[in-house]
Structure 1
Amino acid sequence: MTLELLAEVAVLEEEVAKLEEQVVQLRKNQYEEAIHISFFKKNLENSLDIQETHKESKNTNPNMNNHQSTHPQIKMFKTLSKISQIEYTASEKCMDTRKLQFEKGFSGDDGPNKISESILKCLMFVFARMSSNSALKMSEMLPSLAPCENPWAMDFKDPYDIFYEFENTDIGPYKYLYEVEAKTIDKNRTTISVFLAQRLKILLGKLALVDLTSVTHQEKLAFWINIYNSCLMNAFLEHGIPDTPERVVELMQEAKINVGGHLLNAFSIEHFILRLPCHVKYTSTKGFKDDELSARNTFGLELSEPLVTFSLSCGSWSSPAVRVYTASEVESELEVAKREYLQAAVGISTTKQLLMIPKLLDWYMFDFAKDMESFLDWVCLQLPTEVGKVAMTCLERKPSEPLSDRVRVSPYEFHFRYLFYK
């Protein structure tokens, strides 16, 4: 009897391993599918722009060119967006007097988690300095520094474009995030580039020597989230801002970062360390590369953490915001990241009786629920109480009406953008 049970367990383990292999392969295919959709949409938009330009060139009525939208929500959004900007020179003045404090802030504990936090802070600071959106408040990005005299400019943003089409009255903290897009990158802003480049080189050198043999699950979790985001941000600095969806995915697998003597790419970090438990034993490894399997065996978490979906950014428009995760608070930080992303990215329309969910959630739906209906219930429960109630009313339907009539999935957009917590 015992031998029979052991045999059944062995069969089940083999089946689980096969399913895990299929999951990883499916997630690779998801990126390719999203690329094709994004490419098709971009071509369609370009075609429509050309047609619109052609029509305008034939229009000789000057009054038509001065036509402005009078939609009340658009007016309100524009009004909020006109809050005064703080000039970039504010942080310039702070920079010279804070360099020593800035360097001191990076020279503390050399443990793995402190190193990962410092690398990500440094990279976020570099991108924020390169952006022409607004002034950078250094004391927010680097808490170890004394505060500058002037704060960030308070721009109200609608990062996932749900404000115009849907009835979300409050998209939460995401409306205050610092946004870095390709069009805002100013390569001439090199006032502190040499200094930051040196700091980044030192930190990456420390990362290449880290020892992760004695870290806890929470420490590993926070460490690898920070390193994933750092890996891609560093790749964009080295190889340039990607101008196609294909290039984004290429960098996810080509650009590597040295962690404790192991060269790892972003795809391996996400799918073989953060999402795939290290105890899974594969019966067939022909679909995987040696470095992917090595990463899983050496660094993989004992338990996968589905909430990393809301913390990993590949620098695309549809990605969640980037924040620095700490070992002591990582679980609560992931909960906050989940709720804030959902509040900002889920569209709710009571007039259309419609709920819009981002493609990112559609991809990882089964990490949170067994089917679409229970998944949508889960989404509503993650939203602020009153917002969740409104969302639930949008899903109410007649018994014969399919749930799909009340749900729309927004496509994944690959064009470059970072959202940073200030």
Structure 2
Amino acid sequence: MKFEELLMLKEEERNQKKLQLEAEVAQLQEILENEQKLNAVLHRALHGSFVCHSCLSSSSSSVSLQVQILVAEIAKVEEEVIYLQKKVEETKQTLHQERKNKKEFLLQWEQKLQTHHVSELGSHGFTESSTNMKTIDQIPVGTERKTSLELAAEAKSLHYRKSSENEADQKTENSKQQHRIQRLISEETYRGEENKLSEQLIKIMVSIFKKLVVPQIHIESEASTATKLNISCIRPSNSRDSATFIGTQIQDPYCILSEGDIGPYKKFLHLTRGTLNLNRIVLCLPAIEKLRALIQKLSVVDLQLLSYKQRLAFWINIYNASIMNAFLQHGFPTSSDKLLELLNKAAFNVGGIVLNALAIEHFILRHSSHIKNGIVDEKEAHLRRTYGLGYPQPNITFALCRGSFSSPALRVYTAENVVNELERAKIEFLEASICITSKKKMVIPKLLEWHMLDFADDIESLIEWIYSQLPRSRPLKTLMMQWLSSNTRICASKLVEIRPYNAEFRYLFSDY
């Protein structure tokens, strides 16, 4: 029996090894198929054949996001090249026809001049005496031809002089027209076209991210099969503050165990790494094309005629749009260090100067501490003179969205109402990110501690400032009043808990 059991055991081991090998073979076969699909796509793109959107969508699992975007761009560029080649051929034909017509005109003009000169000589010969006729007859034939050719040459030179004068006049007229166009552009700039451009950038970014959202049916199927997570900081599903979006609940955007109302944030759209699929970028190609056109317009803007409010709204929108664009280009960061690297890469060409998100925040929107100490970098001083706001606006802390869990919600800021919009963003962030815990401690986000000196001198005065900013009708104001009155004998800073900054990807924005 033992020998038979040993044989059976070895047989089972062989079967297991066989199954493992078959699984590995199947896995390698799948990898091979994906590589073959990728090779086919790259081969078609390399040899000039267009790759349609449906082909990319069908092979999205085997083709990376960068390759999909690159292939789509190649196809678009090839179409543009063919179009330009046709235009070049048409232009060549037009120029050839113009030269041909010009030569025919000059030839006809020369013939007319020769005929006219001969007729003049004939008329003089009939009217004068026979002596004069004899003199005319004695004129060599070559001399007559030479005179006709000289007249033709003079006609040609006259024609060229007129053409050059016309070209000079045309150039002068073109320069005047360009000057008029630039003046009109400056007038449009003063009317706030740059602000409309920045608003369009945010809106088209939001539309792209919405298209990257995984369909609801996929999320529900994944949720039914996935293991349930026990996250203690999320309130029960029967909470009156819960809100749903594509199968996910937004109960507590900052995980602070708040018993009160989190304000308007509960109605905002909640986009995380799990709700997005970058392989769906193929569906966004028309929007990406519009985005590129807007970015191109951004490189020629002139901000010198903008008012303070116009510049404030413009730079907030550009800051937020540059980070969203960086997410599309470089993916989602996995740590605070990676997020910092992304902020350095999040750059736009604004009026001929390339600025990243950090430069926009610290050199334009915020006032550096070095200025107070009398130390100013030359480049920083130039940026502040060219693009700066003139004086600080502390509430930008609640408008600059880095696309992380600890960031405020994203919104579009308008030049006409930017001050009120910043005030609204401040109140919404305070209501959603601050709470009183069951242990009678006040939770304050790290973002407020970083920029505390913009609002207060220390933690105690910061708490007073928070209390003064909250509306009277909100539950958080009542809780804070009770908390302050019950802790009059205890230092408030000892009862404050700073919640660490969470750099995980997440966007909250209202529906545009």
Aligned partner of 1:295 in structure 2 is 383
Distance of 1:322 and 1:383 partners within structure 2: 20
The Cα offsets for residues 1-53 of structure 1, whole Å up to 9 and x where unpaired, read as xxxxxxxxxxxxxxxxxxxxxxxxxxxxxxxxxxxxxxxxxxxxxxxxxxxxx
Aligned partner of 2:440 in structure 1 is 353
Which letter does structure 2 place at the counterpart of 1:296?
R
Which letter does structure 1 place at the counterpart of 2:253?
P
1:127-142, aligned counterparts within 5 Å?
127-132=209-214
Give unmatched runs, 5+ long, in structure 1: 1-108, 136-150
Distance of 1:176 and 1:274 partners within structure 2: 29
After superposition, the Cα gap between the structure-2 partners of 1:282 and 1:356, relative to the gap in structure 1 and judged at 3 Å, is closer
Kept in 1, the 8 Å contact 2:435–2:476? The answer is: no
Kept in 2, the 8 Å contact 1:225–1:312? The answer is: yes
Deviation at 1:316, TM superposition (A): 1.2
1:11-160, aligned counterparts within 5 Å?
111-132=193-214, 155-160=249-254
Aligned partner of 1:321 in structure 2 is 409
Deviation at 1:153, TM superposition (A): 6.0
After superposition, the Cα gap between the structure-2 partners of 1:179 and 1:399, relative to the gap in structure 1 and judged at 3 Å, is closer
Distance of 1:216 and 1:125 partners within structure 2: 29
Which letter does structure 2 place at the counterpart of 1:118?
Q
Deviation at 1:315, TM superposition (A): 1.2
Deviation at 1:405, TM superposition (A): 2.7
Distance of 1:343 and 1:159 partners within structure 2: 11
Match of 1:249 among 340, 344, 347: 340
Deviation at 1:408, TM superposition (A): 0.9
The Cα offsets for residues 109-168 of structure 1, whole Å up to 9 and x where unpaired, read as 981000000011111111121122759xxxxxxxxxxxxxxx976954311012xx3322
SS at match of 1:161: coil
Distance of 2:310 and 2:254 partners within structure 1: 31
Kept in 2, the 8 Å contact 1:278–1:297? The answer is: no
Distance of 1:134 and 1:212 partners within structure 2: 43
- The percentage of aligned residue pairs carrying the same residue is 42
1:267-278, aligned counterparts within 5 Å?
267-276=358-367
Kept in 1, the 8 Å contact 2:245–2:270? The answer is: no
Kept in 2, the 8 Å contact 1:133–1:179? The answer is: no
Kept in 1, the 8 Å contact 2:436–2:480? The answer is: yes
User: Aligned-pair RMSD on alpha carbons?
Assistant: 2.7
After superposition, the Cα gap between the structure-2 partners of 1:384 and 1:249, relative to the gap in structure 1 and judged at 3 Å, is same
Distance of 1:121 and 1:192 partners within structure 2: 17
The Cα offsets for residues 319-372 of structure 1, whole Å up to 9 and x where unpaired, read as 0000000000100000000001110110123x4222111111111112112332
Deviation at 1:234, TM superposition (A): 0.6
Kept in 2, the 8 Å contact 1:160–1:345? The answer is: yes
After superposition, the Cα gap between the structure-2 partners of 1:120 and 1:407, relative to the gap in structure 1 and judged at 3 Å, is same
SS at match of 1:264: strand
Match of 1:216 among 284, 297, 307: 307
Kept in 2, the 8 Å contact 1:208–1:259? The answer is: yes
Aligned partner of 2:510 in structure 1 is 421
Distance of 2:456 and 2:319 partners within structure 1: 25
Match of 2:458 among 359, 371, 379: 371
Which letter does structure 2 place at the counterpart of 1:238?
Q
Deviation at 1:399, TM superposition (A): 5.6
Which letter does structure 1 place at the counterpart of 2:209?
F
Which letter does structure 1 place at the counterpart of 2:214?
S
Give unmatched runs, 5+ long, in structure 2: 1-190, 218-243
Match of 2:482 among 386, 393, 407: 393
Match of 1:411 among 500, 503, 508: 500
After superposition, the Cα gap between the structure-2 partners of 1:303 and 1:404, relative to the gap in structure 1 and judged at 3 Å, is same
Which letter does structure 1 place at the counterpart of 2:447?
L
The Cα offsets for residues 33-81 of structure 1, whole Å up to 9 and x where unpaired, read as xxxxxxxxxxxxxxxxxxxxxxxxxxxxxxxxxxxxxxxxxxxxxxxxx
Aligned partner of 1:342 in structure 2 is 430
Aligned partner of 1:384 in structure 2 is 471
Kept in 1, the 8 Å contact 2:401–2:407? The answer is: yes
Kept in 1, the 8 Å contact 2:192–2:310? The answer is: no
Distance of 1:173 and 1:372 partners within structure 2: 26
Distance of 2:345 and 2:382 partners within structure 1: 17
Which letter does structure 1 place at the counterpart of 2:506?
R
Match of 1:201 among 270, 283, 292: 292
Aligned partner of 2:258 in structure 1 is 166
Distance of 1:258 and 1:410 partners within structure 2: 35
Distance of 2:318 and 2:326 partners within structure 1: 12
SS at match of 1:188: helix
Deviation at 1:416, TM superposition (A): 1.0
1:175-194, aligned counterparts within 5 Å?
175-190=266-281, 192-194=283-285
Moved more, 361-370 or 390-399: 390-399
SS at match of 2:280: coil
After superposition, the Cα gap between the structure-2 partners of 1:259 and 1:167, relative to the gap in structure 1 and judged at 3 Å, is same
After superposition, the Cα gap between the structure-2 partners of 1:326 and 1:134, relative to the gap in structure 1 and judged at 3 Å, is farther
Distance of 2:419 and 2:215 partners within structure 1: 32
Deviation at 1:395, TM superposition (A): 2.6
Kept in 2, the 8 Å contact 1:276–1:300? The answer is: no
The structure where helix makes up a greater share of residues is 2
Distance of 2:379 and 2:296 partners within structure 1: 21
The Cα offsets for residues 258-297 of structure 1, whole Å up to 9 and x where unpaired, read as 1111100101111110112899587445xx5x65443223
Deviation at 1:251, TM superposition (A): 1.7
Query: Alignment length, in residue pairs?
Result: 293
After superposition, the Cα gap between the structure-2 partners of 1:261 and 1:360, relative to the gap in structure 1 and judged at 3 Å, is same
Kept in 2, the 8 Å contact 1:276–1:301? The answer is: no
After superposition, the Cα gap between the structure-2 partners of 1:310 and 1:158, relative to the gap in structure 1 and judged at 3 Å, is same
Q: TM-score, normalised by structure 1?
A: 0.64
Kept in 1, the 8 Å contact 2:334–2:503? The answer is: no
Q: Bigger relative contact order, structure 1 or 2, given CA contacts below 8 A and separation 6+? A: 1
Aligned partner of 1:311 in structure 2 is 399
Aligned partner of 1:93 in structure 2 is none
SS at match of 2:313: helix
Aligned partner of 1:46 in structure 2 is none
Deviation at 1:396, TM superposition (A): 3.1
Kept in 1, the 8 Å contact 2:445–2:500? The answer is: yes
Distance of 1:278 and 1:394 partners within structure 2: 34
Larger radius of gyration: 2
